[in-house]
Structure 1
Amino acid sequence: MPDKPALSSSEIAVLWTTYQQKTMFLRMLEYLIKHADDAKAKTIMEDLHEETNVYPHKIKTMFQEEGASVPIGFTEEDVHLDAPKLYENGFDITLVRMIKEISMGMHTLSITMSYREDVIEMFQTLTAITQKYYAICTNYLLEKGQLTRPPFVPMPKSVGFIKDTSYLGGITPMSKSRHLNMVEVANLYHGVEANVAGSIMIDGFAQVAHEKDARKFFERGSQIAKDIVHDLSKKMLESKLQVPIASNGNVTESTTAPFSDKLMMYCVSLFCSFSVGSGSIGTAFSLRNDLPAKMVIIMQDIFAYAHDGAKIMIKHGWMEEPPQT
């Protein structure tokens, strides 16, 4: 038996996907580091870049050892370090935190699709790095007042079981909706928080995109995110819960693109995929009928939007083809 078996199809897939995501993130991180105003934020991003930068090289080596073609991913041609600052007021760490949240899910899923010991160990290490920096970014934003906690509610004093199917009501205007339970609040708030930050990111992309169809695509995405924030916030307000979202950054007046349209389109595609997955989890754990119904509509809108984005990427030759069987 060889010391290491050949990479399986699923391992090639998760390594290829990780290479795309990591090279994108490193290019974005390089730009954010150069334009960081806060010394602590800059140190966080520099340390993260140092710990992450080795992994595209490791994946490249794995492919080369197998005689497989190395993906292109995102290179120095996809970032313009001298472009003026596009985001300010702490949005750099907010953006890093968002991408680390996506990475946590991706790495965990990748472990479940890996069988070779060195591949599993790599994703375990990446998971630990991602969790560490997600926590660092969260604490940084809380300390700076750029991230708020979800609503506080009275502590539960008893336990019980649902005794009536009316607990599931709320899908029709005539049916009475109960107040949200805490599991539902958690998922709604997460959706609001993610889409507030996402709309800021996409606003910046829309402002600097070169291609007209990409610019219109980003403008549409920003509006979708704002509509989701409005719809989910309304559900919380109906249960007399405030939605305390802190000001976590804004877009400057710069119209010079720090990233290629290819990179920005891929980034939005990645966020759409995460949003659909996150929405599915929220739907699965929501017991009030109107909430899954609302989330299904939202996920359909996001899926249609992402599909239109894929067409734009294919049109301009920006979508790298995954390895074929």
Structure 2
Amino acid sequence: MTIPNKTQLVSSELGNLWLAYQEKTMLMKFLEHFLEHTENEETQQMLQRSYDLSAQSVIQIRSFFEQAGAVIPVGFTDGDIHKGAPKLFDYTFDVMFLHLMSKIEVALFSLHSTMSYRLDVFEFFRQLSADAQETYRQTTQYLLQVGVLSRPPYVSMPKEVEIVNNKSYFSGYSLLNEKRALNTIEVSLIHHAIEANLTGMQLMMGFAQVAHDKQVKKYFADGMDLSKKVETTLGEFFREEFIEPPATHAGKATNSTFAPFSDKMMMYITSLLSTFGLGSNAIGGAFSLRNDLPLTMSFLAKDMVSFAKEGGKIMVANGWMEEPPQVEDRKQLRK
């Protein structure tokens, strides 16, 4: 629903609408490929619903820009998808991808709503967040039903309140103190990170097979190695507690070497996932009270930052990075 508003868009609203346009036009192209190959009616309904909602949001964002007198971003178009390309990912990957994207969208659009001051823009992002939450609900229940999504581990229910009364609670890397067991907050954050990287690893594997540019191919192979490193490093914390890390038998890349997507769009989604990974890593470090966890996550974050920077250089070198709206360059205007 569009709520009339005469107030000019402020910088945060302009920037966040621009970001949403990039993400939504990209998501639509991925969904077009998945819809072309899906044979499951329930899956088709979830994908089509997400596609239709994304298309509506793109129209609304265009309206926001047109009313403000702003240029419409390029985003991603029919030139970024190759219709008729063979299926790049196998059983249930389409739903796994949508599941991961819904996590990103819930976080992204919830944040954007808190940076909106015009009522119509706020309501727009609030609705996008609600739509993403429903997508998360549907995809989660489907993946659990077909047995390809691992639940976090069960634990014994606490029977009484415990108070931290010893500094050893924070012990991690220490020669003098034995490491305490993980608490449930730490378990949830580790599980979340591993789950996201399992999907990301398969995505990088498929991209590395079909990318045209040799440098881009190598970049995706590096991304696959980085996802594996994150999964194995964080998984070791679980194994020390005799907990099996999450895993899945589904969603593997096929043997296709024909790209359904442009190198530009594959680089963009990789950049988006890298940003999401860095954010999740920062939250994981902030909420971990055992000092070895934040230290490990900081080492992983260093690799993620390097990977993201390299991706940015590749995108700039190939003219694939669309520039967000800028503030006025006052120094240049004075000249």
1:139 partnered with 2:141: yes
Q: Write the distance in 1 (CA, Å) between the matches of 2:246 and 2:70.
A: 49
- May I ask how many residue pairs the two structures share in their alignment? 324
1:46 partnered with 2:38: no
- Quote the sequence identity (%): 41
- Per the alignment, residue 232 of structure 2 pairs with 230
Say if 1:147 and 1:247, in contact at 8 Å, map to a contact too: no
- Per the alignment, residue 301 of structure 2 pairs with 299
1:241 partnered with 2:243: yes
Q: Write the distance in 1 (CA, Å) between the matches of 2:163 and 2:250.
A: 39
Say if 1:197 and 1:248, in contact at 8 Å, map to a contact too: no
Say if 1:4 and 1:116, in contact at 8 Å, map to a contact too: no
Q: 2:13 aligns with which of 11, 16, 25?
A: 11
Output the amino acid matched with 1:33: L
Q: How does 1:271-282 map to 2 (within 5 A)?
A: 271-282=273-284
- Per the alignment, residue 97 of structure 1 pairs with 99
For residue 244 of structure 1, report the CA deviation from its aligned partner.
3.8
For residue 175 of structure 1, report the CA deviation from its aligned partner.
3.8
For residue 197 of structure 1, report the CA deviation from its aligned partner.
1.1
- Per the alignment, residue 185 of structure 1 pairs with 187
Say if 1:23 and 1:74, in contact at 8 Å, map to a contact too: yes
3-state SS of paired residue (1:250): coil
- Per the alignment, residue 80 of structure 1 pairs with 82
Range 59-68 or range 101-110, more displaced: 59-68
Q: Write the distance in 1 (CA, Å) between the matches of 2:24 and 2:215.
A: 26
Q: 1:208 aligns with which of 197, 210, 214?
A: 210
Say if 1:151 and 1:244, in contact at 8 Å, map to a contact too: no
Q: 2:120 aligns with which of 110, 118, 121?
A: 118
Deviations 1:201-248, CA, capped at 9 Å, x for gaps:
111111100101111000000000001110111111111222242223
For residue 3 of structure 1, report the CA deviation from its aligned partner.
4.7
Note closer, same or farther for the CA distance 1:90–1:8 as it changes in structure 2 (3 Å cut): same
Q: Write the distance in 1 (CA, Å) between the matches of 2:295 and 2:220.
A: 26
3-state SS of paired residue (2:323): coil
3-state SS of paired residue (1:257): coil
3-state SS of paired residue (1:251): coil
Structure-2-length-normalised TM-score: 0.95
1:127 partnered with 2:124: no
3-state SS of paired residue (2:159): coil
Q: 1:24 aligns with which of 16, 23, 26?
A: 26
3-state SS of paired residue (1:255): coil
Say if 1:93 and 1:137, in contact at 8 Å, map to a contact too: yes
For residue 138 of structure 1, report the CA deviation from its aligned partner.
0.4
- Per the alignment, residue 332 of structure 2 pairs with none
For residue 52 of structure 1, report the CA deviation from its aligned partner.
2.0
Output the amino acid matched with 1:60: R
Output the amino acid matched with 2:178: K
For residue 37 of structure 1, report the CA deviation from its aligned partner.
2.5
Structure-1-length-normalised TM-score: 0.97
Q: Write the distance in 1 (CA, Å) between the matches of 2:269 and 2:211.
A: 13
Range 165-174 or range 82-91, more displaced: 165-174
Give ranges in structure 1 of 5+ residues lacking alignment.
none
Say if 1:171 and 1:293, in contact at 8 Å, map to a contact too: no
RMSD of the TM alignment (CA)? 1.2
Deviations 1:72-120, CA, capped at 9 Å, x for gaps:
0000100112110000111110001101110111101101111011101
Deviations 1:173-222, CA, capped at 9 Å, x for gaps:
55421111111111111111111111011111111001011110000000
Note closer, same or farther for the CA distance 1:66–1:258 as it changes in structure 2 (3 Å cut): same
Q: Write the distance in 2 (CA, Å) between the matches of 1:131 and 1:24.
A: 19
Q: How does 1:155-194 map to 2 (within 5 A)?
A: 155-172=157-174, 175-194=177-196
- Per the alignment, residue 109 of structure 2 pairs with 107
Q: Write the distance in 1 (CA, Å) between the matches of 2:5 and 2:100.
A: 38
- Per the alignment, residue 255 of structure 2 pairs with 253
1:262 partnered with 2:279: no
- Per the alignment, residue 56 of structure 1 pairs with 58
